[in-house]
A and B are shown apart, each in its own frame.
Chain A
Amino acid sequence: MKKLILLFITLFLVTGCYNYHDLNELGIASSILIDYTDQFEVTVEILEDEKSETYKGSGKTLDNAFNNIILGTERDLYYNHLDAIILTENVNVKDIISYFMRNPEVNNTFYLVITETTDIYKEDKFGKTLSNILKRDNMSNFFDITQTLFEENQDMAIPYLNRQLKIESIAAYDEQSIAFNLSLEEIDIYKLLTNNTGSNIVTSYEGENVEIKVNEITTKYKLNDEIKIAIELEASLVEIDQTIDTSNLDTIAKIEESLNKEIVKQTATFIDKLKYTKSDILGIDKMLYNKFHNLLKTFEDYNYEIEVKTHINKKGLLLK
């Protein structure tokens, strides 16, 4: 009898049914577009069986806008499988990120993107596509961005979606506003400087273009009276004019030398731009504070010495 009573009580109390949601009643959000004019304008892309649907809502607060979306559907929004959050330049990034960080039912591996246009939902499963593109390109995800967002001595860098719905740049911030947008070449250098692989570097050798793809990268910063950046990379040769004989060791050495000079030049230009726009997306101030325990001189006040060592260790299936 005791066991029966216990079983009866257990049936009613140990099911966790308070939070029960039928899968059909859940709107699994894949991506969210957030804009702000005089109030928050939110578009949520919900995954259906084979396609996706978008729902719009607006409100004085972000939560209010999401609640207004629910009013038009029988479903509850579920954010644990988010692929991307897309923000316009009108919103305060810190407020939005804090909102999603507070919610326990949100994963932290999705991507955060700044968009130039709000007209983005032109094809099915846009959020998933965007997430795949950013993952392939080794871009920072939500978690990485939260780390720089709350770091006093580093600025954020968030992927930027243009009107053609392509990620062709990264928005470099100076505190809470966008300082400038990195071009594709600058993104490649930025990846080198932040120890990310996947960059493609083009240089000129004997008047012809030579392109390499970076497979391994080690970038070290030495902070003294000036900042020395030592970049060492292993790369594959992906494109070269067929008149150049790459089986010749001397030729490879010269190409490597040419690449070293090209990367030094591009890095110096990139750092000058960062200094000019006061955008410390490399976190050099953070390194300076870590070493000197003060910021009497910030990253803009230093001279930079750049040293690059390129090792081409693959050239594909062709001998030459």
Chain B
Amino acid sequence: MKREFNILNYLNSRALFMGIGLSKLLIQAHEYIWISLILGTIIGAILIHFVKFKMKKSLLNVVICSILFVIGLNILINMISTMYLTEMPKLLVGIPIILLVMYILNKREVIIYRVANILFVLNIFLYVVAMLSLVSDFHLENFTYSNTPIQNVIFSALEFALFSTLPTLITRDENTANISLVKTYIISAITMGTWFLLTYGILGANLVDIYRYPEYIILKKISIMNFLENIENIVSFVWLFDIIIFLLCNGNAIKKNVDNPKVINILLPILLLITAFINRFYILILYIYKYSSIILLILAILLFVANKKRHQTS
């Protein structure tokens, strides 16, 4: 159980970086991103170690997990409709994802851990392929001075800690509250950090500032032995796996916070409709992107306060 829980959270803690976190942090911290990563990892590891937390049944938890689910689904749908299925309506993109999530959630909880185990192996394989083929394109010269204020670097470190620790909170319950995630978190932060550095080292400040998915753009440069090219859509599955696990964790948390677990079969399609509605207005997506840190911080505080309080009174 301990091993499976760690693997689940390895994937889970990376989920919010795709499409939001990575691009946002790189734009803010620029060449000092490595400082943000180190600081962020230390802060995150301290939070993971010291903040003892377990989810209790409450409506507030359902609302928080639903908002997180919408954010995760929004990231995934946008990613798919930008990269793979450019002509497909976003609602239709979301239907198979919701069906998949509902199918797994209707099984026993152990299925989520098994799915995470399988995806973890694929994730590591794709990560190694990408790293090995892209490392030659990494140039230290791209880390040139860009007049980045120190507060941006600190703010990015805090955001890194927030983006990476919040998803782990929703997986904590009475069975998993005492399992240490520090080692897994550090490994996850290192693998995530190398993506940050690789992206910046390949694109540089100017291209990081203008590309919507810089982490995806670098994958277009993959060329294995000069004959295996244009495989960015396959390698980018590393992100897809992370977000699917994040959605499963949120769905599972919702399931555990309601009296009748079958409620998710109604709630998740409603959340898909909400996500599809949000996606009709690009300005709303921009707002989520712009204020994602504040939204996530509020959710983290609410999650912590609500569950801590109940824990003390019980």
Contact = CB atoms under 8 A, between A and B. Distances in A.
User: Among A13, A105, A291, which residue has the most Cβ atoms of chain B within 10 A?
Assistant: A13
A154 to B, nearest CB: 10
A150 B221 contact: no
Contacts of B203: 147
A104 B92 contact: no
B88 A147 contact: no
Interface in A273-320: 286-287, 289-291, 293
Contacts of B144: 286-287, 289-290
Interface residues of A, number: 28
A291 B145 CA distance: 8
Contact of A14 (B84, B96, B145, B207): B96
A10 B87 CA distance: 19
B82 A104 contact: yes
Contacts of B85: 16, 18-19
A211 B248 CA distance: 65
A103 to B, nearest CB: 9
Contact of B92 (A18, A109, A143): A18
A203 interface: no
B217 interface: yes
Contact of A10 (B99, B207, B211, B220): B99
A105 B87 CA distance: 12
A289 B146 CA distance: 9
Contacts of A74: none
Contacts of B211: 101
B91 to A, nearest CB: 11
A13 B96 contact: yes
A14 B93 CA distance: 9
Given A109-B221, A147-B206, A13 B145 contact: no
A81 interface: yes
Contact of B88 (A16, A151, A290): A16
Interface in B72-94: 82-89, 92
Interface string B209-222: 11100000100110
A10 B102 CA distance: 13
A80 B230 contact: yes
Contacts of B312: none
A249 interface: no
Given A13-B92, A13-B95, A151-B206, A293 B217 contact: no
A1 interface: no
Contacts of A177: none
Contacts of A9: 99
Nearest to B204: A147
Contact of B207 (A6, A18, A150, A290): A150
Interface string B271-301: 0000000000000000000000000000000
Contacts of A266: none
Contact of A109 (B88, B210, B223): B223
Contacts of B50: none
Nearest to B100: A14
A236 interface: no
Interface string A85-111: 000000000000000010011011100
B109 interface: no
Interface in B189-235: 203-204, 206-207, 209-211, 217, 220-221, 223, 229-230
A150 B96 contact: no
B147 interface: yes
Contacts of A286: 144
B99 A18 contact: no
A109 B220 contact: yes
B221 A143 contact: yes
A297 to B, nearest CB: 16
Contacts of B83: 104
Interface in A24-47: none
Contacts of B145: 289-291, 293
A36 to B, nearest CB: 23
A152 B146 CA distance: 11
A146 interface: yes
Contact of B87 (A19, A147, A287): A19
B40 to A, nearest CB: 25
Contacts of B92: 13, 18
Contact of A105 (B86, B99, B204, B210): B86
Interface string A255-275: 000000000000000000000
Interface in A225-267: none
Nearest to B80: A16
A147 B141 CA distance: 12
A100 B95 CA distance: 30
Nearest to B220: A108
A104 B229 CA distance: 15
Interface string B147-163: 10000000000000000
B230 A19 contact: no
Nearest to B206: A150
A295 to B, nearest CB: 11
Contacts of B210: 101, 150
Interface of A: 6, 9-10, 13-14, 16, 18-19, 80-81, 101, 104-105, 107-109, 143, 146-147, 150-152, 286-287, 289-291, 293
Given A143-B220, A150-B209, A151-B206, 7 more contacts: A18-B87, A18-B88, A19-B84, A81-B230, A105-B86, A147-B206, A293-B145
